Amino acid sequence: MPTIRWARRLDRGRFFAPAVVGILLLAGCGSKPAGPPTGPGGTKAEAPVLNVYNWSDYIAPDTISRFEKETGIKVNYDVYDTNEVLETKLLTGHSGYDVVVPSAFFLERQAREGVFLPLDRSKLPNYHNLDEKLLARLTANDPDNRYGVPYMWQATGIGYNVDKVKAALGGDVPLDSWALVFDPKYAAKLKDCGITFLDSPPEVLDSAQIYLGIDPNSERLEDLAAAEELVKKVRPYVRYFHSSQYINDLANGEVCVSVAYTGDALQARDRAKESANGVNIAFLVPKEGAVFEVDMMAIPADAPHPDNAHRFLNYIMRPEVVAEISTYKKYPSGNAAAIAFLPPSVRDDPAVYPPPDVVARFKDHRAESLTYTRYENRAWTRIRTGR
């Protein structure tokens, strides 16, 4: 059985200067495991172990156990729920992970810091199953698709309890706009039924900028200040900042509006349906637009088991394997061949695979500079602490 645990959350915003990161990576210092035994012919045999670090609520129940059974490789499976937590570990180095899943705009700058191993395509015969258009789009973040394999994609939008929101707002319901959470007029009315925000500065501040008509990739400090000011105005109405707790809370009616990732909101919708509790959850891609994101499987440069990591990536690229993950978790995958393995209830669900007019509202995300991120983190702390 895989070992599944939440990794300990590290301090936000602890970024190491690139030079220091480089030195750490090159020096190989830290608690590195002992080298693997040398096999016949001088090749290094890897221990049958794989350390995977993925987002929470992002894999099917049998995905890991089937891989273990098939390969004899024991998987230690840890989860996180923000890019920031993963990044802190990757930039510190020697995370001990063999497979990680950063979003493409985080992978972009992490790759520049030398954090990842270039993929060896000769070990990925299932690579041809991937969606070529998506791969082409991703070259903006990952030139030549050198380091990452697209896993699942999504938008950051709004998950909401249809009945509670309508009851709270009466007939005046902007169920097509970020105004629902960013206009104090509406947020104040929704306070009692519960508004939650993701605990991630770029997710929320970039969404606020989109609402304001600002390019979410802007690094102008006045644009950041505008987003901060907007979010501060609705801060008194936000019950909490967390990036996964809202799935259950939306599903059981504890909260009524969450700035959410598509699939997580849809998992809340499905959990409510399964428990037949009368909660009706929907997901909204606001008319102003929403950040589009692709989470990428990648192998850290100092991964202890890079061959096992390639085997795992290749396994996930089997269409039937990744289709099962999409089926359970309601995220579309980056695997074109997987579509044929989806049940119609998922394949034809416009909330999972949005129609072209919705996709047209998605905005690509580019890497932030570390300097800008420092300013963004400070703004976030001010928002969270109300100072």
For the bound state, the minimum distance from the C-beta of residue 186 to ligand SPD, rounded and expressed in Å, comes to: 24
Helix and strand element counts for the chain (H, E): 17, 11
The footprint of ligand SPD on this chain (CB under 6 A) covers a number of residues equal to: 13
Residues listed for the chain: 387
Paired strand residues for 296: 150
Nearest CA among 250, 238, 246 for reference residue 161: 250
CB of 334 to ligand SPD, least distance (A): 13
Q: Which stretch binds ligand SPD (CB under 6 A): 52-60, 126-134, 161-169, 183-191?
A: 52-60
Q: Which stretch binds ligand SPD (CB under 6 A): 6-14, 49-57, 139-147, 342-350?
A: 49-57
Helix H or strand E segment including 260? strand 257-261
The residue at minimum Cβ distance from ligand SPD is 293
* Interaction pattern, residues 137-156, with ligand SPD; x per rule: CB under 6 A: -----------------x-x
| 295 scored as a contact of ligand SPD (CB under 6 A) | yes
Task: Let me know: does 30 contact 94? Beta carbons within 8 Å.
Answer: yes
Q: Provide the minimum distance between the beta carbon of 43 and ligand SPD in the complex, in angstroms, as a whole number.
A: 36
What is the CB neighbour count within 10 angstroms for residue 382? 14
Pattern 155-184, ligand SPD, x by CB under 6 A: -x----------------------------
If binding is defined by CB under 6 A, does position 78 make contact with ligand SPD?
no
> CA separation (Å) from 26 to 29, 273, 301?
8, 51, 10
Stretch that binds ligand SPD, among 25-33, 53-61, 157-165, 270-278 (CB under 6 A): 53-61
Residue type, 66: R
Q: Residue 297: name the closest of 182, 199, 150 by CA.
A: 150
Nearer to ligand SPD (CB atom), residue 88 or residue 156: 156
Please select the residue that binds ligand SPD; options are 58, 147, 178, 315, rule is CB under 6 A.
Answer: 58
Stated as kind and residue range, the H or E segment containing 82 is none
First to last CA, the chain: 46
Interface with ligand SPD, residue 261, by CB under 6 A: yes
Closest to ligand SPD by CB, 56 vs 71, is: 56
* Residue pointed to by tokens 């637009």: 289
Instruction: Determine the distance from the C-alpha atom of residue 316 to the mean position of all C-alpha atoms in its chain, rounded to a whole number.
Output: 17
Question: Taking CB under 6 A as the rule, does residue 328 contact ligand SPD?
Answer: no
Q: Which is nearer to ligand SPD, 58 or 116 (CB)?
A: 58
DSSP alpha helix (H) spans, the chain: 18-27, 63-71, 83-92, 104-112, 132-138, 162-169, 179-182, 184-190, 201-211, 221-234, 245-251, 262-275, 306-316, 319-329, 344-347, 356-359, 370-385
Contact status: 293 vs ligand SPD (CB under 6 A) = yes
Give 103 or 308: the residue with its C-beta nearer to ligand SPD.
103
Binding letters toward ligand SPD, positions 185-214, x by CB under 6 A: ------------------x-----------
What the block records as the tokens of 297 is 């499987």
Shortest Å, Cβ 296 to ligand SPD = 10
Cα gap 268→282, rounded to integer Å: 9
One of 2, 56, 60, 217 touching ligand SPD (CB under 6 A)? 56
Between 145 and 156, name the residue whose CB sits nearer to ligand SPD: 156
CB of 104 to ligand SPD, least distance (A): 9
Closest C-alpha to 203, from 361, 52, 353, 81: 81
**Residue 181 · residue 334 · CB < 8 Å:** no
Nearer to ligand SPD, 156 or 258 (CB): 156
- Sole window of 51-59, 132-140, 172-180, 332-340 interacting with ligand SPD (rule: CB under 6 A): 51-59
Instruction: Please select the residue that binds ligand SPD; options are 15, 53, 55, 246, rule is CB under 6 A.
Output: 55
Here the tokens at position 214 are: 């600002």
Give residues in contact with ligand SPD (CB under 6 A): 55-58, 83, 103, 154, 156, 203, 261, 264, 293, 295
